[in-house]
Chain A
Amino acid sequence: MAGKRLVMVVSEGTFDKAMESMMIANTAASMGMDVHIFHTFFGLPLLLGNADPKLPGEMAPQTEMMKEKMKSVGAGDYASQKKMAVELGVHLYACSTSMELMGITKEHLTPGVTILGAAGFLNIAADSDMQFFIG
């Protein structure tokens, strides 16, 4: 029944990983699940207010085409998926060490993001039913 907890670690910040994490999260939240996403290393910049991820490596130039396709099937762009996640009650976490490494401060982050470290996230994950790693 409803109420299962899903935790995700997102450690990459490319368009595919970004969209995948939010699409799974928003579906899970729509199924009544309790969703928590920890953004660390290259996943952290996704929590910047103006994040606009690109496809990886040599596929980067095709990002705009992929974004148009995503829009045409109603999924919108990463910003709209992230906004939806916040509205659906998905918990977004920024890794405090990654913030320090990348020179990102709280003011740069999307409103509603919680800053924590591994212990804080592990405490949430310890009571989870499903654990996904997006990286």
Chain B
Amino acid sequence: MEKDESLDCKGLMCPMPIVRLAKKMKEMQVGKVLELVVDDPGSKEDVPAWCSRTGNELLGMKQEGNVFFFYIKKKVA
């Protein structure tokens, strides 16, 4: 999937992937797509929850082994 930036949070557990995701998205411009790479199993629920709560768009997710790749489009400034 197309992406503008990537953020590797492998090895980090809740709450750090979400805290880093929020910080990273704050730095990005509206319309850009972030790839978030995580292996916290809670992320499967947490990342979609963050997207819906903050109004950003989850374009897709894939899983390779224990690693999740989320593609998130920044929708709100």
Q: Is the CB of A30 within 8 A of B14?
A: no
Is A27 a contact of B54 with CB atoms below 8 Å?
no
Please name all residues of chain B whose beta carbon is closer than 8 Å to the beta carbon of A26 when the two chains form the complex: 15, 19
Q: How large is the interface on B (under 10, 10 to 19, 20 to 34, 35 or more residues)?
A: 10 to 19
What is the bound-complex CA distance between A27 and B19, given in angstroms?
6
Task: Specify the chain B residue showing the minimal Cβ separation from A31.
Answer: B53
CA distance A3 to B23 in the complex (A): 17
B11 in contact with A73 (CB, 8 Å): yes
Give 1 or 0 for each of A28-61: 1 = CB within 8 Å of chain B CB: 0011100000000000000000000000000000
Question: Is A84 at the interface (CB under 8 A from chain B)?
Answer: yes
User: Chain A residues near B18 (CB, 8 Å)?
Assistant: 27, 30-31
**A30-B12 in contact (CB<8A):** no
**What is the interface size of chain A, counting residues whose CB is below 8 A from a CB of the partner?**
14
**Interface secondary structure of A, over-half rule:** loop
A88 to B23 Cα, complex, angstroms: 9
Contact with A along B1-30 (1 / 0, CB 8 A): 000000001011111101101110000000
The answer to whether A31 and B50 touch across the interface, beta carbons within 8 angstroms, is: yes
The answer to whether B12 touches A1 (Cβ under 8 A) is no
B53 lies within 8 A of A2 (CB): yes
CB distance from A59 to the nearest CB of B (A): 20
Whether a CB of chain B sits under 8 angstroms from the CB of A23 is yes
**Which residues of chain A are within 8 angstroms of B76 by Cβ–Cβ distance?**
2
Interchain CB contact under 8 A, A31 and B11: no
Contact A2–B54 (Cβ < 8 Å): yes
The answer to whether B13 and A1 have CB atoms under 8 Å apart is no
Besides the contacts A31-B49, A74-B13, what 12 more A-B pairs have beta carbons closer than 8 Å? A2-B54, A24-B15, A27-B15, A30-B18, A30-B22, A30-B50, A31-B53, A31-B54, A32-B22, A73-B16, A75-B15, A88-B19
* Interface pairs A-B: 6 shortest CB-CB: A30-B22, A73-B13, A74-B12, A74-B16, A27-B15, A23-B15
